[in-house]
Structure 1
Amino acid sequence: MAWPEGAVVVVTGAAGGVGHACAAWLAERGAQVFSLDRREPADVVGTFVAVDVLDEASVDAAVAAVVDAAGRVDALVAAAGISEEPTPAEEMSAATWSRTIGVNLTGVFLTCQRVGRVMLGQGAGRIVTIASMSGAHVVNNPQQQVAYNSSKGGLVAMTKSLAFEWASRGVRVNALSPGYVDTPLLGSKHELHDQWKSVTPLRRFAEPAEVAAAAAWLLSDEAAFCCGTEMLMDGGYTLA
C-alpha cells in the first residue's frame, strides 16, 4: 500500500476502538499521528490533542494545535461515535436523540469542515468517515436504535456531499461502513453476540485492525479514484 512517509494524520475517537486501531495502524507505517478525543488514553498513539466534537471552539482549537505543530494536515479519519442503549423509538428521549445525532453526525461534520478548510487551502487532502452498515444497508435486529441508525445514514449522505463539493479542489472524501466490530462499544450487549454472529456468514466480528487497514487503504494512493465511495465491510451480514 502506497503511504507517504511522515504524512500528517488526524484521528478522532482515538482513545479506543476503531479510532485507536486506525491511529496505531497508521503510526506503525510512518504517519505522524495526532490522536483526538475527549480523554487521553493510557496507550495514546502519537500526539494527543483534547477535543469535544460537539463544541465548535474546541474543534477549532484542536485543528489549530495540529497545524501549529505539523504545518499541515494530509489525512483525517473521523471515527468519533457513540451508540445509545436500545430503546423503542416511541420511548426515546429528545436528549438521547440529540446527543447521538450530535456526536455521530454534527460532530463529524464540524471536524471534517474545520480540517477540510486546511486541506482546501493546501489543495490536497484525504478524509475517511467511519459510518456503519446500520446507516444505509440494514436496520439492526433485535436492538432498537433509531438515533444511531439515523446518524449513520446521515453521515453517509454527508460524506457523499462533501466528496462532491471538494473533489475538484484536491480533497477526497470517502466513508467506511463496518458491521459489528469487536470493540468495547459491543461490551454491554454480550447476550446478543451469538445471535449476531450466527447471521453473519463469516460467523465472527471484525477485528479493529481489519477496519483500520480498510480505512488506511481509502486514504492511500491506491484509492486515488475513490470519491464519495462507501465501503461496506460487514462479514456478509447484509446479504441475508
Structure 2
Amino acid sequence: MSVSYDFDGDVALVTGACGALGSAVVDAFAAAGATVAAADVIAADDDDSLLETAHADSFHQADFTDEAAVESTVADVLDAHGRLDYLLNVAGTWRGGSPVHETDEATFDMLLDVNLKTMFLASKHALPHLQETEGAIVSVSARASLEGGEGDAPYRASKAGVRLVTESIAEENLGTVRANAVMPSVLDTPMNRDMMEPDDDWVDPSEVADVMAFLCSDGAAVTSGAAVPVYGES
C-alpha cells in the first residue's frame, strides 16, 4: 500500500540533513510538497554528505550545539521562507564499546551535545514559530533508550533524554504543537555497514522518514508525546 502526504505550503526544518536518515527525511518532505530547509554542521557538498541538494529549498550550515548558531539559523529559515511548520530533529551520532568506568569525559560530553543538546536547542528556538502555525516536532530517539546495556551508556542516556524532552514539550504545548519521537533500532546506513555485518532485517532510512512524515500529517493529529518504535524485523 502506498501512502502519500500533502505538505504543500508548509515549511520543514531538518537537522542532520547530510546524513543517511536526515537526507531521507529531506527527500520525504520534499516529495510531499513541503518547502524544506536543510541544516547540518558539515557542508552540503562535503565528501561525507548524502544530501540531494536539489531536494532542499535552502541549506544552512550550522553547529546546532551552539545556541547562537541555532537561533540565527531559525531566523534565517523564517527570513527565507516566512514560516515554520515542522521541525525534524535528526542530528545525532553513536559511540560505544567501553564500560562506564573506561568511558572518557569527552565521549560523554560529545554524545550528550550531539544527540540531546541539538534537539533541545532546535526545539527551544523553533517552538515560538511552531506555536504560531500549530506545527509539529519529530525527534530521533532510539530503541536503546528504553533500557541499559553494555558499552554505550552515554549514547543510551542521550537518547532517553530526547524521549523525555519530547514528552515534556508535548505536555507543555497541548493543543498547539505536537511533539513525538521515533525509536530506530539498527538502520541500514553506510556507517553501520562499515561498523557491523550487514543484516537484511535492518530498517531503511526512507522507512523511518515515512513514519516521521506521518507524525507531522493530519493522520496523526491526535498523537503527541509518543515514542514510536521503528524497529522493522531487527
Same-fold call, TM cutoff 0.5: yes
Distance in 2 between the 1:2 and 1:17 partners? 21
What is the Cα deviation at residue 123 of structure 1? 4.7
> Which residue pairs with 2:185 in the alignment?
179
Tell me, yes or no, if structure 1 residue 56 matches structure 2 residue 95.
no
Tell me, yes or no, if structure 1 residue 230 matches structure 2 residue 227.
yes
> Which residue pairs with 2:34 in the alignment?
31
CA contact (8 A) 2:5 2:213 kept: no
Matched length? 223
> Which residue pairs with 1:106 in the alignment?
117
> Which residue pairs with 2:169 in the alignment?
162
Distance in 1 between the 2:7 and 2:115 partners? 29
Tell me, yes or no, if structure 1 residue 126 matches structure 2 residue 126.
no
The structure with the greater share of residues assigned to helix is 1
What is the Cα deviation at residue 231 of structure 1? 0.5
CA contact (8 A) 2:7 2:29 kept: no
TM-score (norm: length of structure 2): 0.90
What is the Cα deviation at residue 185 of structure 1? 3.5
Aligned ranges 1:141-156 → 2 under 5 Å: 144-156=151-163
Tell me, yes or no, if structure 1 residue 212 matches structure 2 residue 222.
no
Moved more, 98-107 or 228-237: 228-237
Distance in 2 between the 1:107 and 1:54 partners? 5
SS in 2 for 1:48: strand
What is the Cα deviation at residue 139 of structure 1? 4.4
SS in 1 for 2:94: coil
SS in 1 for 2:136: strand
Same amino acid, percent of matched pairs: 32
Pick 1 or 2: higher relative contact order, CA cutoff 8 A, min separation 6.
Answer: 1
Distance in 1 between the 2:193 and 2:102 partners? 23
Provide Cα deviations, 1:169-193, integer angstroms capped at 9, x if missing partner.
x111000111110113314422xx3
Distance in 2 between the 1:30 and 1:154 partners? 31
The structure 1 segments of at least 4 consecutive aligned residues displaced by more than 6 Å after TM superposition are none
What is the Cα deviation at residue 40 of structure 1? 2.3
Q: Which amino acid aligns with 1:178?
A: P
